Each structure stands twice: as structure tokens, then as C-alpha cells.
Structure 1
Amino acid sequence: SALHHIKILEDLDFHDIIVSLKASDVKLAIEAYEKAAAAFDYPIHLGITESGTLFAGTVKSAAGLGAILSKGIGSTVRISLSADPVEEVKVAKELLKSFGLASNAATLISCPTCGRIEIDLISIANEVEEYIQSIKAPIKVAVLGCAVNGPGEAREADIGIAGARGEGLLFRHGEIIRKVPEDIMVDELKKEVDKLAEEHYEKQRKEKEEQNV
């Protein structure tokens, strides 16, 4: 069907085309997009249509679109959920970040809960995740519940915090930079994130100025 409609447009000397092959079946969508990528060079819009609710639809979309993106296929993407469109955008951004396709976006690293955790890890991770949504810089931020293993396990993070009883350890690239009281550790982490973001923005400004010289 897609090839048929492409030919109709080409016969009319119209080539400003983007092709969408969305399906609700994950395996069918993957197969269709693979065939399309091999058949023509037009931009391809990705999507798993009618994927479901926020939870189920996110899983289904990640499974299908992740497989397609991993093959280097796709020019634009839409996450279709029975949810607030804002949630669709959030899921799409996280999916693209997972494949390194959203360069100016912060990423959260957080550990699962375990018996060593002495802080409210879940609420802290959610708060930090919400905070970094507006950060347009490629920063990896870690929120970990264990001060013993945390900094080392997240050494790839640009900045992070590991909770302990009554305090938190702020670290950069696995190296502890200071201890902070538990009641202000999230605020201190946010300040460090802002500093890193500003450093990135300043670097961008200087590069742009050099290009204009």
C-alpha cells in the first residue's frame, strides 16, 4: 500500500514525502519498517498505533520502536498512548535518549530498591527525574540508595547522590565531592545539575561565537 501511494505521488512529480507504516502489532510493525527501509529512501515516521494505556502502551511502544530504532530506521517518531499527550512526549524523549538520539537532554540513573536503602529512594528519584526534564544538556544524573556501592556503580554519571542514614554523598564520575545533610541533599544535587548545565550552555555559546567570527 505504501509503495502504491508513493508511486502515485512520484507520477505527479511530487517527492516531498514522509511515509508512515504504523501498526498495532509489534512484530508486524517491525517487519513492515524493515521492508520499507530497504525499498525506498524517503523519510519514515515511526509509531505503534493504538498501543494502549500509559503503562502497557509504553512497554509495547518501547519493544517495537526500540527494535526499529536499533536498526537505524526512522526520521520522526510518535508514541501513541491512551494518556495525556505530555506523557507521550516524555516516553518518546526517554526512548530516544536510550539510543543516544536526543543529544541535548539529561538522563536519570537510579538503582532498584534493596535492603541497604535508608532513604526514600523512589520519591527522590521521581523528584529528580521531573526536575531534569527541562535541562537541555547531555548530563547523566544518578540517584542511588546505598552510600557503600553507589558512587562506584554509577561512575559513568556526571553528577549523583548516594543516600545514607542522615546524610547524602554527592559525587562526580564516581568520586565523592562532599557530604550533605539528608534534608537538603536533593536541593544540593539540583544545584550541581544546574552548574553542569550552565557549563554546557556556556560552551555552546562560545562555540557559536567562534563559528560566527
Structure 2
Amino acid sequence: MSEHNPGLRPWRDIARRDCRQIMVGNVPVGGGAPITVQTMTNTPTSDARATIDQIRRCEEAGVDLIRVSCPDVESTAALKQIVRAAKVPIIADIHFHYKRALEAADAGAACLRINPGNIGSAARVKEVVDAAKANGCAIRIGVNGGSLEKDLLEKYGEPCPEALVESALDHIKLLQDQDFHEYKVAVKASDVFLAVAAYMQLADAVDCPLHLGITEAGGLIGGTVKSAIGIGNLLWAGIGDTIRVSLSAEPEEEVRVGYEILKSLGIRTRGVRVVSCPSCARQGFDVIRTVEALETRLQHINTPISLSVLGCVVNGPGEARETDIGITGGGNGKHMVYLSGVTDHHIQDETMIDHIVSLVEAKAAEIEAAKLEAEGTDAGKATAVAAE
């Protein structure tokens, strides 16, 4: 059964963990809301223009939330301009100085990423919470295996799931003591086993949304693999309400990888999902270069569409029947095109890539037009009912 008519597939169902919902700006997190994709800028936040330019690229990639570091007063001073320019909610990353949190809240940050225990005295924690309440800010508690409190390291001897969870619960209590409940929590580690075990334990201990990530995951390839294993395992288990893929790569790449993880689990669909073979001597065209070219040229497509690119007729027809658009390699530079899982026409090598791009663009336009028509019909029905 093809993707455009999937039918009932209970073996694909993921039962998400129940939790309460918070708002990060205008974006709901938890409580059954769509799992959001985050990233973090790496420009100096004090350079508002450069930071906004980077945010724009991430927005084009589909980011839902963006975090910016606020280590000094110059950064929080630029934050107001950044918040005004951004189309998505901005999270201010605060580490130690509580005044930066106050300034960020006043500047319009939708969320403050802090560890309340690092802010200082209870009086300072209260000031930060009061600022968050006054400005409608959420708070993310960010526990990290690489920066656990000294007393917990002494107690447990090393970073372990129990230490991360205890740290998170201690920080949560500081917020709850101030009657603040608009928070989400992360217990990240660079070790996949440690991070997954900690999130599993925390998920059973709290009712707040959880932010997932494998921190310091590495470069584009290695970090993608580690993140897919760690975040993917948790999402498959129904745990997680927002994610960030931490890569030594440009922020927009983190967004793209995040969506690929969600798409692979059928949790969220955005853009073109490519099914392609690894290629072999049977291939009727250069599969690797074709896929590279198509992925680049189809980045502007936001509409969920499936595309199969298969080099030969061994698995090609079967895979093509499962996608919206498909192509399988044939002999003499002549290849079969499938539309909605059905053989439709042949295409030659020299026009293949341009032709596939045009087919995908046309399909996206068709889907969007149908969506608008349905929305208009629903709106008309609602108006008619209201008039009665």
C-alpha cells in the first residue's frame, strides 16, 4: 500500500508519553503538540545582523524554535532587535549570571535556558522566576553530563543516569518552590547510553515536557548517526516533545537532520522524503549524483512528498509503487517514471533531473491547492452552521 494511501499500519504506531503542555512564545510544547525542531545560532549574539541572517536560513529550513547564547550585556542588548526580526520564538541561553536572564526576559525572549542552581541564591532564583512570569517566558532546565554539580559527582563517582536525574529534580524543585511550572527539562550527555537511560528515568519521574538531545555529538556524519540512535530510540519509545541535533555543522544542517529523524519515524513530515538505492553495477543512471542534485534542488519544497530514485528494475518497481513519484533505471538511457505508484511514462538521461524537479513542484502545488480548497470548504460550512 502506497504512502499516499497508507491505510492502517498499527505496527508503525508510537504511543507518546503523556505530559502537560507549556507555551514557548506561540509554540505549544508537550501535551500532544507536534514535536518541535530546535537549533542554536553560533554567531556572536551581539552582532544582531549576522545572528538574524543565520536565523533566516534556519527558518527556511523549517526550524520551530531557536536558541541564542547570552553571555554578556552586549548580547542581551542585541536580543530585542533579534526577537523582533525572528519569525520563530527565541530562547535565551543563560549560564551563570542571573542578570542576563532578567535582561533577556525583558528583551522578549520566549524561553530562558538556565540551571536554577547555577543562578545563585534563592533570592536570585526568585528574581529570574518573577521576570519570567512578568514577561510570559518559559524556562528550560538544561542538565548536562559534562557539567554535573560537584556534590553529585562525589556522591555517584561519575556521571550516571541517576546523577543526571537527581540534578534535574533538584533544579525543578527550585522552580516549583517559586510556584513556577512553565518549564521543560533536558538531561543531555555525549554518551548515547547515558543520555537515553537518563531520559527514560526522568520520563517516569516528572510530568513536564522533555527536550531531547545528544550533546557534543560530533560532526555532520558522526553526529547525525549518534543523534539518530539516541533521539530516535527515545522518540520511538514515545519520549520527547522537542529536539535539537547538536552538530559541529551549520545550524540549518541541525534542522534538516532533525526533520529527517522525525520523518523516518513518521512523526512529522516536511519536504521531500527520498527513497534511494545505494547503487550497484546494475544501475541504469548515476544514482548517487542524481540524488545529490535532487536533494539540493528540492530543498525549497515544504509540502510532504515521497520520491523514490532507484537505479534498476530489481527493487525499483516495488519501491516506486510506495511513493508519490518514482523513477527506476532502464536500459539505453531510458527510465520509467511512476506517478502515485503507477507506471506513467519514460524519460531520457539528459532531461531526467529537470523533469523530476518539475514533477515534484507540480505535485506540491497540487497538494497545496487541494489543502486550500478543503480549508475554504470547511470555513464555508462553519459559516453556514453559524448562520443557522
Q: Classify the TM-score, shorter chain.
A: over 0.9
Alignment of 1:1-213 (within 5 A): 1-147=167-313, 149-164=315-330, 165-213=332-380
Counterparts in 2 of 1:21 and 1:148: CA distance versus 1, 3 Å: closer
- Cα deviation for residue 148 of structure 1 reads 5.3
Q: Any conservation in 1 of the 2:259–2:270 contact (CA below 8 Å)?
A: no
- 2:339 & 2:324 partners in 1: Cα distance? 5
- 1:117 & 1:16 partners in 2: Cα distance? 54
Give the unaligned 5+ runs of structure 1.
none
Higher RCO, 1 vs 2 (CA within 8 Å, ≥6 residues apart): 2
- 1:32 & 1:156 partners in 2: Cα distance? 37
Aligned sequence identity (%): 46
The residue type paired with residue 347 of structure 2 is: V
- Cα deviation for residue 194 of structure 1 reads 1.3
TM-score with structure 1 setting the length:
0.94
Q: Any conservation in 2 of the 1:106–1:135 contact (CA below 8 Å)?
A: yes
* 1:56-114, Cα deviation, whole Å (9 max, x unpaired): 11111111111011011111111111112121111111111011122333200001111
Q: Comparing 97-106 with 70-79, which one deviates more in the overlay? A: 97-106
- 2:366 & 2:360 partners in 1: Cα distance? 10
- 1:133 & 1:38 partners in 2: Cα distance? 38
Counterparts in 2 of 1:26 and 1:161: CA distance versus 1, 3 Å: same
TM-score with structure 2 setting the length:
0.53
- Cα deviation for residue 149 of structure 1 reads 4.1
- 1:3 & 1:104 partners in 2: Cα distance? 35
- 2:188 & 2:315 partners in 1: Cα distance? 44
Counterparts in 2 of 1:137 and 1:196: CA distance versus 1, 3 Å: same
- Cα deviation for residue 118 of structure 1 reads 2.7
Counterparts in 2 of 1:153 and 1:103: CA distance versus 1, 3 Å: closer
- 1:141 & 1:112 partners in 2: Cα distance? 15
- 1:190 & 1:20 partners in 2: Cα distance? 40
- 2:319 & 2:240 partners in 1: Cα distance? 33
Runs of 4+ in 1 over 4 A off after TM superposition: none
Give the unaligned 5+ runs of structure 2.
1-166, 381-388
- 1:14 & 1:155 partners in 2: Cα distance? 52
Q: Any conservation in 2 of the 1:147–1:169 contact (CA below 8 Å)?
A: no
Q: Any conservation in 2 of the 1:167–1:185 contact (CA below 8 Å)?
A: no
The residue type paired with residue 249 of structure 2 is: A
SS at match of 1:129: helix
- Cα deviation for residue 174 of structure 1 reads 3.7
* 1:171-201, Cα deviation, whole Å (9 max, x unpaired): 1244210011110011111111112111210
Tell me which structure has the larger Cα radius of gyration. 2
How many residue pairs match? The answer is: 213
- 2:312 & 2:187 partners in 1: Cα distance? 45
